Amino acid sequence: MSHFAEIDKNNIVVRIIVAEQDFIDSGVVGNKENWIQTSYNTFRGVHKDNKTPLRKNYASPGHTYDKTRDAFIRPKPFDSWLFNEDTCDWDAPVDYPIDGELYFWDEENQQWLLAFDYPE
């Protein structure tokens, strides 16, 4: 079984289903051209089991399918974030701290805040 993302006329992911390719090809769920295989093991262009990544990122409703890049791209989370062509994902202007703590992005101050310091 594989995961497939249904895209609308604007290439926005509408839903994800688990199915066999034959089921998609049968047309039971609509135009097979609107269904694109995705892998939940793929994130930022890397497959978690060191296999070939599929379409850069696992699709989710609201993501865009970019036919030119053959990639699923999530919506831009903040105005300051920049698109990374290698990962087909958005990068914060400041690297996420790698210290084992949980952080949230503070767009106004352009910094990462510790989760317990994040304003309500």
Q: What is the pLDDT of residues 46-57, one digit of tens each?
A: 999 999 999 999
The per-residue pLDDT for 115 is 87
For 8, the 3-state DSSP assignment is coil
Q: How confident is the model at residue 116 (pLDDT cuts 50, 70, 90)?
A: confident
The C-alpha atoms of residue 120 and residue 115 are separated, in whole angstroms, by: 11
Give the sign of the dihedral formed by CA 7, CA 10, CA 11, CA 15. negative
* DSSP secondary structure, 31-88, as one string: -GGGEEEE-TTEETTEETTSS--SSSS---TT-EEETTTTEEEPPPSSTT-EEETTTT
- The pLDDT tens digits of the residues spanning 46-101 come to 999 999 999 999 999 999 999 999 999 999 999 999 999 999 999 999 999 999 99
- This prediction's pTM: 0.88
> Average pLDDT of 12-33?
95
Residue ranges of domains in the chain:
1-75, 76-120
The per-residue pLDDT for 117 is 64
Contact at 8 Å (CB) between 65 and 5?
yes
Which residues does residue 42 pair with via DSSP β-bridges, in sequence order? Answer: 47
Contact at 8 Å (CB) between 65 and 7?
yes
